[in-house]
Amino acid sequence: MRLLFSEMPGRHERHLIRKYNNQLFPESERTLTSDQLNEAQRLDHEELVAYIGDLRKLVGEAVSLGPHEQSEVILELKERLDKSYETACRLADDQTPNKEAIKKLVSVIMQAVWKGAGNDSLAHQELTQEEEARMTHYELLENPLVADLLDPDSPIKENELLPSLLCASRAEFEAAVTLFDPAQLGEICTAGEKLTDSMAAMEGDEEWNRRLHELKSLYAAVKDS
pLDDT at position 187 is: 94
Rounded to whole angstroms, how far apart are CA atoms 204 and 21?
Answer: 13
Share in percent of the chain as helix, strand, coil (round to 5): 75, 0, 25
Model confidence at 57, in pLDDT bands (50, 70, 90)?
very high
What is the identity of the amino acid at 131? E
pLDDT at position 150 is: 97
Gyration radius (Cα) of the chain, Å: 21
Rounded to whole angstroms, how far apart are CA atoms 99 and 208?
Answer: 33
Q: What percent of the chain has pLDDT over 70?
A: 96
Least confident of 13-17, 42-46, 156-160: 156-160
Residues 6+ apart with CB under 8 A from 75: 113
Residue 8 and residue 94 in contact, taking contact as beta carbons nearer than 8 Å: yes
Rounded to whole angstroms, how far apart are CA atoms 83 and 166?
Answer: 27
pTM of the predicted protein model: 0.91
pLDDT at position 70 is: 84
Rounded to whole angstroms, how far apart are CA atoms 6 and 83?
Answer: 25
pLDDT at position 201 is: 58
pLDDT at position 141 is: 98
* Mean pLDDT in residue range 210-218: 92
Q: Quick check: 205 pLDDT over 80?
A: no
